[in-house]
Amino acid sequence: MYDPAALTGAGLVVVTINCRVGVEGFAFLDDAPPNCGFLDQVAALQWVRGNIAAFGGDPDQVTVAGQSAGAGSVAALLAMKSARGLFRRAIAHSVPGLHSTPAPARQVTAALAHRLGVAAPTAAALRDIDPWRLAAGLTAFNAELHAHRESWGRLTETGTALCPVVDGEVLPETPWSALAGGRASGIELLVGHTRDEFRLFSVMGGRRGTFTEQDARAALELLAPQPHGAEAYRAVFPQAGPEELVETVYSDALFRMPSQKLAEANAAADGTSYLFELCWTAPVLGGALGACHSLDVPLAFGTLDSPVGAQLVGDDPAPEAVTLSDEIKGAWIRFVTTGDAGWAACRPDRWLTRVLDAESETLPYPEHASRRIWENYSIAPFDLS
């Protein structure tokens, strides 16, 4: 899915990096630096800065790009002092609003360490555990987060126990607050999300079509902006049943609003933001996936024939899928090369968005109803309930 051949064939120099994730990358340990995954990324960017010219690249024209957790990394790099000057542009698809304050991060790590059978939440205690056991233990722990809802609140609705920690040093604050507060500089940013972000998780998890009013109430209570977000969602979407409410608030809270607000904050910090929403429906499973999370990746890389690409667009991609892939891939290449995505940048008085579909258009932001609900709220890190 991430084969960069189509991008390198257009003249780009592509560097794919490895970094620590999961327990190794984001556990909040007593005897190790926080956010080791981000430290790995900064080290990789420093290597690029010093070495990319030997591969035909320009160290002054570096673009960082990521999707989902990778987009969260891209956003975090905007707020990290150690990353300043290491890149010029950024591409972020489906930015997650997943950050934690130290208090829940410390509790989560301690609970996970206990589950793994170690005496203390330290790197020294975890070092001898087989990496596959660490990963399996974290996966099982993630599946049981709801048991901790009273203590950890919103975090338990994400399915991700370990997330970046706003520790004050490696990550001094969230990217939204850093940009909005003038403590980070805006850059050239290509950012967006899919229309039906949460659909991938509901379909693949077997929950599509089963959500109840109790599920909707819990999702609104924990994920809608407080204190009046739950009422606002019901008022703005009066005809929505439990299924639509769950899907809308999860899509908004986890990806759509963090992405849109990053575009907004970057523009306010004198950056240039190009916003998009993918609205093309994946044709597999009778269209049940909609324009789901991750559908944009094989489209952007031009890897429709990859195993994941085939799972999303089918074994024989329709001409419109190929055309759409060419458009997104072309936008990436143009943006990396020139800083211009090919459509109008966002302005405070006009939030234009490239709506990517079989026939793409540049229109006012499609999720304006959700944007109004979240307008006066920031993307805040998780804290103890």
**Rounded CA separation 116/126 (Å):** 9
Active-site residues: which are they?
68, 197, 293
Q: CB atoms < 10 A from the CB of 54, how many? A: 7
Those residues whose C-beta lies under 8 Å from the C-beta of residue 341, and which sit 6 or more positions away, are 190, 274, 276, 331, 334, 335, 354
**Rounded CA separation 261/139 (Å):** 30
Cα of 254 vs its chain's centroid, Å = 8
Q: CB atoms < 10 A from the CB of 102, how many? A: 15
Helical H runs in the chain? 5-8, 22-26, 36-51, 69-79, 102-116, 123-126, 131-143, 149-152, 175-180, 199-204, 213-223, 229-236, 242-251, 257-268, 296-301, 307-313, 319-338, 368-374
What does DSSP assign to residue 121?
S
Helix (H, G, I), strand (E, B) or coil at 375: coil
Those residues whose C-beta lies under 8 Å from the C-beta of residue 306, and which sit 6 or more positions away, are 1, 3, 298
Q: Please, what sign has the CA dihedral across residues 23, 247, 297, 371? A: negative
**Rounded CA separation 365/108 (Å):** 37
